[in-house]
């Protein structure tokens, strides 16, 4: 029997809303009722539902779904901050993606969300010295979701990976809280550096589709990187950069570019200084 959603509303509004939406999905689309029950309604907390759902995707001949779930459960129970980040990520997708109409859609179907949560588990394993298993998860995520994030990369909370196909994040990259990135984004090395060689993306940044940020450089907080740009030098805070190579063409266009998700950039000589208000 499903556990009543009301039982958890007082302490976990995201989980309560997810369960309510799953119940509505099961009633409106009977063909997906078993999916809604198996992945969400049969569980008592978000962490349990997530480990079940992700393990079913990650499981393979080499590592069964049952074994994968044990690993996910271990990480989620050992580090409550992972669960907190999961909730923040779900909220970010729901609030920023106009194609997302509820938490249940992102939880069940959005591979950017799935890839990011698998990375959180892989990162936990990496920090525990279980690097080979972490790399196995990285490999499976790359195969399944076309997203390649090194387990050592440090990623904050409230992250949205929209579409996500082709996202690559290198070993020493850092992504702070409240960042949004679209498909085809690369946070890579310059190709000649060793050690700390990947970008540092600060809070509130919007990385538009196909943006490439290369080398141990910083993209300052609340800045935007235009679609298809190649960033080779540090970007100041609250700016928009675009081009190949990228250069500053104006202000960021808003106080919270990662939330407004406005990728439109006017020419530098247009009224408004390179951004649309």
Predicted pLDDT of residue 194? 85
In the predicted structure, residue 234 carries a pLDDT above the cut 90: yes
Mean predicted confidence (pLDDT) in 144-164: 97
Confidence class for position 268, pLDDT limits 50, 70, 90 = low
Distances (CA, A) of 110 to 54, 116, 172, 221, 249: 12, 10, 26, 26, 33
What does the alpha-carbon distance between residue 28 and residue 242 come to, in Å, rounded to a whole number? 45
Beta bridge partners, 224, equal 206, 240
Predicted pLDDT of residue 4? 52
Mean predicted confidence (pLDDT) in 125-144: 97
Mean predicted confidence (pLDDT) in 54-61: 94
Confidence class for position 269, pLDDT limits 50, 70, 90 = low
Q: In the chain, where does DSSP find H-type helix?
A: 6-9, 13-28, 33-36, 46-58, 65-78, 80-96, 103-109, 111-127, 131-145, 257-260
Distances (CA, A) of 163 to 71, 142, 176: 26, 14, 20
5-44: pLDDT as tens digits: 445 445 899 999 999 999 999 999 999 999 999 999 999 9
% of the chain with per-residue pLDDT over 90: 86
Q: Are 112 and 163 in contact (CB under 8 A)?
A: yes
Confidence class for position 263, pLDDT limits 50, 70, 90 = confident
What does the alpha-carbon distance between residue 118 and residue 138 come to, in Å, rounded to a whole number? 8
Predicted pLDDT of residue 9? 47
What does the alpha-carbon distance between residue 187 and residue 196 come to, in Å, rounded to a whole number? 13
Q: Nearest-5° angle of CA 154, CA 200, CA 96?
A: 75
Q: Nearest-5° angle of CA 27, CA 95, CA 22?
A: 15
Q: Which of 144-153, 205-214, 265-274 has the lowest mean pLDDT?
A: 265-274
In the predicted structure, residue 272 carries a pLDDT above the cut 80: no
% of the chain with per-residue pLDDT over 70: 92
What does the alpha-carbon distance between residue 210 and residue 32 come to, in Å, rounded to a whole number? 34
Confidence class for position 270, pLDDT limits 50, 70, 90 = low
Long-range contacts from 68-77, C-beta under 8 angstroms, 24+ separation: 71/121, 71/125, 71/133, 72/121, 73/47, 73/48, 75/120, 75/121, 75/124, 75/125, 76/47, 76/50, 76/51, 76/121, 77/47
Confidence class for position 190, pLDDT limits 50, 70, 90 = confident
Mean predicted confidence (pLDDT) in 108-136: 98
79-109: pLDDT as tens digits: 999 999 999 999 999 999 999 999 999 999 9
* Number of Cβ atoms within 10 Å of the Cβ of 13: 12
Q: For all residues of the chain together, what is the average pLDDT? A: 92
């Amino acid at each position: 029997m499903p556990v009543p959603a009301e039982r958890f509303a007082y302490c976990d509004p995201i989980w309560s809303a997810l369960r309510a939406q799953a119940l509505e999905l099961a009633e409106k689309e009977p063909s997906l009722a078993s999916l809604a029950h198996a992945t969400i309604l049969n569980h008592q907390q978000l962490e349990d539902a997530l480990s079940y759902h992700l393990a079913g995707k990650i499981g393979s001949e080499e590592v069964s779904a049952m074994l994968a779930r044990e690993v996910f459960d271990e990480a989620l129970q050992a580090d409550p901050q992972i669960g907190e980040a999961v909730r923040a990520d779900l909220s970010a997708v729901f609030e920023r993606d106009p194609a997302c109409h509820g938490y249940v859609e992102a939880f069940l179907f959005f591979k950017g969300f799935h890839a990011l949560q698998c990375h959180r588990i892989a990162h936990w394993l990496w920090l525990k010295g279980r690097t080979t298993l972490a790399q196995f998860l990285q490999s499976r995520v790359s195969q399944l979701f076309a997203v390649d994030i090194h387990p050592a990369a440090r990623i904050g909370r409230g992250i949205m990976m929209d579409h996500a196909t082709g996202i690559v994040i290198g070993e020493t990259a850092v992504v702070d809280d409240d960042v949004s990135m679209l498909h085809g984004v690369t946070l890579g090395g310059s190709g000649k550096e060793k050690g700390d060689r990947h970008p540092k993306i600060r809070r509130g940044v919007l990385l538009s589709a196909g943006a490439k940020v290369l080398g141990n450089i910083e993209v300052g907080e609340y800045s935007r990187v235009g679609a298809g740009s190649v960033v080779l030098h540090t970007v100041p805070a609250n700016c928009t950069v675009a081009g190949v190579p990228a250069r500053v063409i104006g202000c960021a266009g808003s106080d919270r570019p990662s939330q407004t998700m406005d990728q439109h950039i006017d020419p530098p000589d247009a009224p408004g200084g390179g951004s649309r208000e």
